[in-house]
Each structure stands twice: as C-alpha cells, then as structure tokens.
C-alpha cells in the first residue's frame, strides 16, 4: 500500500516536471542536478578539493551572501510596517517591537547587518591572506572592495531609519563629513574660491551635504533619501555587483588554490 503510494508520487508527471534528475546516485546525476537548478548552478559541478576545506575559506564569502539574503527578507518584512517620515518612523519602531507577531524581526535585521559587516571584513582578510587577489583574480578583488564599501553604506543608511537619538547624531556626524569635501562641500577647502562676482557657487544650499540629506539640516527629506538608498538603490547596486563577483569567480578559474 505504502509502496504503491510512493511509486505513484515518485513516478507522477508533477514530480518529474519539477525534479528532472531524480536521486543523485551517479556522478552523471550529480552534475545534472547542479547544472539544472538555477540556484545551485552558481556553483561549478566540481571544485578544487583544497578549496572546499573549511579552514581554507572559513565560509566567510558564502555567509556574507547568506546574510545579505537574510537582510533582504527581514528588510522586506519590516517595510510593511515602517513609514519613513519624521512623525511615523519612531512610532513604527515601537509598534514593530510590541504590536507585531514575532517581534524580533528588527533584532534579526540589525544583528544580521552587524554580522554581515564583520563577515565581509573577514572575507576580505581571508582573500588577502591567501593571496587570492593575484592574477587572474585582480579585477574580482576590485569588485569585492566596492562591495565592501556598499556594505558599509547599506548599514550606514539603515542606521538613520529608527529616527532616535543614536540615529540622528551618528548621521549628523557622518553627513557633516560630506560638507568637508574639497571644492564641493561648503565647509571644505577651496569651496569659497568657486564664485562668480562674489556670488558663491558652492554654499550650504547646494553642496555635497545638501545633495545627500536634501536640506540644510537633517529632517524628513534626509529620512526619505536614506530610506530609498537603503531599501532600493544600494541593494540593487550591490546585487548587480554580487552577480558580477560570483560570475567572475567561475570565469577566473574557480576558487583559488596553488597553481
């Protein structure tokens, strides 16, 4: 009876349409299962044995990517409740804590963000210590550095969103650095050299900081800008670069190892 049920499930057209390969009990099937799955085919079908070892990679790159996925999922869930307005943001934080089932979503998001920053740093450390940036992987290292910067920026823009004391003062300090850009920041060196007939071209109303926060002082415009950067612009950029990063690992000869 059970055997019959098993056979009718395993041989059904539905099952066969989803799982093409079946139980991977031969090498041929092991190859096909990796090639035939859109997620698994990020991998090659075979990898260097030395590269699979935990003490070589520490799983740092893979965990960075996994944490990015966790952050995407928890972030999307948080977006259902969060309004990026001066009036709404802080109240929504309190609501996400107490009025929403599974009230640790924000915790998961924040701690994953911290963990991702640490993991990306450790990944860079590992890649440096194994000399994996050397030819032919030079360009992938460059992409990796940009991804590191984007990770910092993602975390930094997210820092403002709770709109509490911690948030606005961290961003006040950070955004005032934009003011210090030479030439394009109103308080930076040489900005006041750029003037036409005494009318300054770079002033607090159009300089790099104004561009970043959308006003002369931190406020609703800043919150909206950081929200858009945090939820849409930077994640999209990071996703594109990650695609290139993973693709290049394959194209540059897979995981690094002694030549």
160-199 residues near another protein, rule: CB under 8 A: 162-170, 172-182, 185, 187-190, 192-193, 195-198
- Closest by alpha carbon to 70, among 112, 104, 38? 112
Please state whether the peptide bond connecting residue 114 to the residue before it is cis, i.e. omega within 30 degrees of 0.
Answer: no
Contacts of 48 (CB under 8 A, 6+ apart): 254, 255, 257
The HSE-up count of residue 198 (CA atoms within 13 Å, CB side) is: 0
- CB 233 to another protein: min, Å: 11
Residue with tokens 């540059």: 252
Q: Which is nearer to another protein, 164 or 236 (CB)?
A: 164
Hey, which residues between 3 and 62 contact another protein (CB under 8 A)?
Answer: 24, 27, 30, 33-34, 40, 43-56, 58-59, 62
**Is residue 229 within 8 Å of residue 175, measured between CB atoms?**
no
- Closest by alpha carbon to 45, among 33, 54, 57, 58? 33
The answer to the question of residue 259 lying near another protein (CB under 8 A) is yes
Hey, which residues between 198 and 217 contact another protein (CB under 8 A)?
Answer: 198, 205-206, 210-211, 214-217
Sign of CA dihedral 216, 220, 224, 227: positive
The answer to the question of residue 257 lying near another protein (CB under 8 A) is yes
Question: CA 143, CA 239: separation in Å to the nearest integer?
Answer: 12
- CB 180 to another protein: min, Å: 4
Instruction: Give the count of residues interacting with another protein (CB under 8 A).
Output: 115
Q: Which is nearer to another protein, 79 or 206 (CB)?
A: 206
- CB 90 to another protein: min, Å: 5
Q: Which two tokens stand for residue 86?
A: 């001066």
The answer to the question of residue 77 lying near another protein (CB under 8 A) is no
Question: CA 37, CA 40: separation in Å to the nearest integer?
Answer: 5
- CB 14 to another protein: min, Å: 23
Q: Which is nearer to another protein, 2 or 23 (CB)?
A: 23
Hey, which residues between 90 and 149 contact another protein (CB under 8 A)?
Answer: 90, 93-94, 97, 104, 106-112, 114-115, 117-118, 121-122, 125-126, 128-135, 137-139, 141-142, 145-146, 148-149
The answer to the question of residue 88 lying near another protein (CB under 8 A) is no
**Strand partners of residue 200:** 195
- CB 8 to another protein: min, Å: 27
- CB 18 to another protein: min, Å: 17
- CB 3 to another protein: min, Å: 26
Q: Are strands 195-196 and 199-200 parallel, antiparallel or unpaired?
A: antiparallel
Q: Which is nearer to another protein, 186 or 235 (CB)?
A: 186
Contacts of 212 (CB under 8 A, 6+ apart): 175, 178, 222, 225
């Amino acid at each position: 009876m059970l055997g019959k049920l098993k056979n009718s499930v395993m041989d059904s057209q539905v099952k066969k349409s989803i799982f093409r390969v079946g139980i991977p009990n031969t090498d041929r099937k092991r190859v096909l299962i990796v090639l035939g799955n859109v997620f698994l085919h990020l991998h090659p079908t075979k990898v260097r044995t030395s590269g699979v070892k935990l003490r070589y990679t520490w799983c740092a790159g893979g965990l960075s990517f996994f944490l990015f996925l966790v952050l995407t999922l928890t972030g999307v869930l948080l977006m259902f409740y969060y309004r990026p307005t001066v009036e709404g943001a802080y109240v929504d934080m309190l609501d996400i804590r107490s009025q929403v089932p599974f009230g640790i979503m924000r915790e998961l998001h924040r701690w994953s963000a911290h963990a991702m920053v640490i993991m990306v740093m450790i990944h860079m450390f590992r890649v440096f210590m194994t000399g994996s940036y050397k030819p032919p992987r030079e360009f992938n290292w460059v992409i990796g550095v940009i991804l590191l910067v984007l990770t910092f920026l993602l975390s930094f823009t997210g820092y403002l969103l709770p709109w509490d004391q911690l948030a606005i003062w961290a961003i006040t300090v950070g955004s005032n650095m934009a003011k210090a850009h030479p030439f394009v920041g109103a308080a930076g060196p040489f900005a006041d050299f750029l003037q036409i007939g005494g009318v300054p071209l770079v002033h607090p109303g159009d300089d790099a900081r104004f561009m970043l926060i959308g006003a002369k002082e931190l406020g609703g415009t800043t919150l909206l800008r950081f929200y858009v950067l945090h939820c849409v612009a930077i994640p999209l950029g990071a996703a594109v670069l990650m695609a290139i990063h993973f693709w290049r690992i394959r194209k540059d000869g897979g995981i690094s190892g002694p030549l």
